[in-house]
Amino acid sequence: MQRVKGTALSRWAAGLGLGLALAAGTGYADDFELIGINVAGAEFTSKELPGKHGTHYFFPDDDYFKYWQDKGIRTVRFPIKWERLQPTLDAEFDDTYAKLINDMLDDAGRHQMNVILDIHNYARYRGEVIGSEAVPFSAYRNLMERIAKRWHTHSALYAYDIMNEPYGDAEDNWPEAAQAGIDGVRKYDRKRPLYIEGKSWSSAARWQKYAAPLLDLKDPADNIVFSAHLYIDNDASGTYQETPSGNFDTSVGVKRAKPFVEWLQEHGKRGHIGEFGIPHTHPKWAEAAEELLTYLQKHCIPISYWAAGPSWGKYRLSIEPKKGKDRPQMAVLEKFIGEGNCKTYGPQPNDS
């Protein structure tokens, strides 16, 4: 999720996991699900490095994923922090943090979850942009090589979201950086999808303005999914500081999604909304969310809701249950879990 101005999966058949054959560019399974979630916490408190588990950053406990399995959720986008995993560029992984990722994947696998591992770094390492003298493209490729080498055989790993929300002075370098990330993963993993985000916080509304260079990316496995972010508050930041007025336009989410969807259609590409969330403080938010999810379902574009995770506290977008009880936003999401009859990522070129 973005922290300043900007815009902020599938239910695979239980037990089939990643043993299903992968047709190039089509995904893993025939049973496709619209609603996934982000489980955040491992990337928290980025100014505290390396930080302490349970104080500055948080991984879910054993059996955490059972609740989501019981709700019908099958796909989890899981943000991690580059500096914690690899404290020195081009070096070995930190044993503690890497083991926590192992444990999370093991628990996800026990509950038949598919994990999208998300490098939640905004195209930066210790504040320096990828492609700078301090963080060469080769260092980022090294990270992605090591991630793929270590975890590509894990049954719970579904995909790689190679970088969260490039923005600002990282944007000019992003296409070259993205290619370095792709090349790094593909050295060891030619099977799993690669989720590629765009410039300007990966904004769905601004996607058409910035995304043209992404068309030149080369994936030898031909298995890229473009991933945009979308929030429906006034400034699209995901902070939701206002209360909807009487003339609030509940189609705002659809309007912000259309530039992304139309670009995908024009270029014959596949899409995903990697972050979307709403507060539970006004019924208009829920109404607008339902309109957006209906639109995305029509075009077979899945979302990962922002966010779940056991350490959110009073965060208003959170869908983490309180004392075993669902958060109000789940009432909207549950209308779309297991629905849609989609077989793979959309949109189709001639969807209308």
75 belongs to a structural domain: yes
User: Is 197 part of any domain?
Assistant: yes
Q: How many residues does the chain have?
A: 352
Q: Domain for residue 171, yes or no? A: yes
Separation of alpha carbons 100 and 170, rounded Å: 29
Token reading at 226: 């473009």
Mean pLDDT, range 144-167, rounded to an integer:
98
Q: Is residue 66 a contact partner of residue 110, using CB atoms and an 8 Å limit? A: no
Choice among 43, 197, 275, 291 that is catalytic: 275
pTM of this structure: 0.91
Which residue of the set 165, 171, 197, 291 is catalytic? 165
Residue 133 CB: number of other CB atoms within 10 A? Answer: 6
> How many Cα atoms occupy the beta-carbon half-sphere of 300 within 13 Å?
22
2: confidence class by pLDDT, cuts 50, 70, 90: very low
CATH number at residue 67: 3.20.20.80
Flag whether 132 is in a domain. yes
pLDDT score recorded for residue 341: 85
Q: pLDDT value at position 351?
A: 65
Classify residue 1: in a domain, yes or no: no
Range of the domain at 29: 17-333
- Residue-averaged pLDDT of the chain: 91
| Within-domain flag for 95 | yes
Note if 275 is an active site residue.
yes
Long-range contacts of 97-105 (CB under 8 A, 24+ apart): 97/50, 98/150, 100/42, 100/53, 100/59, 101/42, 101/59, 101/151, 103/59, 103/62, 104/42, 104/59, 104/60, 104/78, 105/151, 105/154, 105/156, 105/157
Is 9 within the bounds of a domain? no
Mean pLDDT value across residues 213-235: 97
Taking only the tens place, the pLDDT of each residue in 245-292 is 989 999 999 999 999 999 999 999 999 999 999 999 999 999 999 999
Q: Does residue 116 lie within any of the structural domains?
A: yes
Q: Total structural domains in the chain?
A: 1
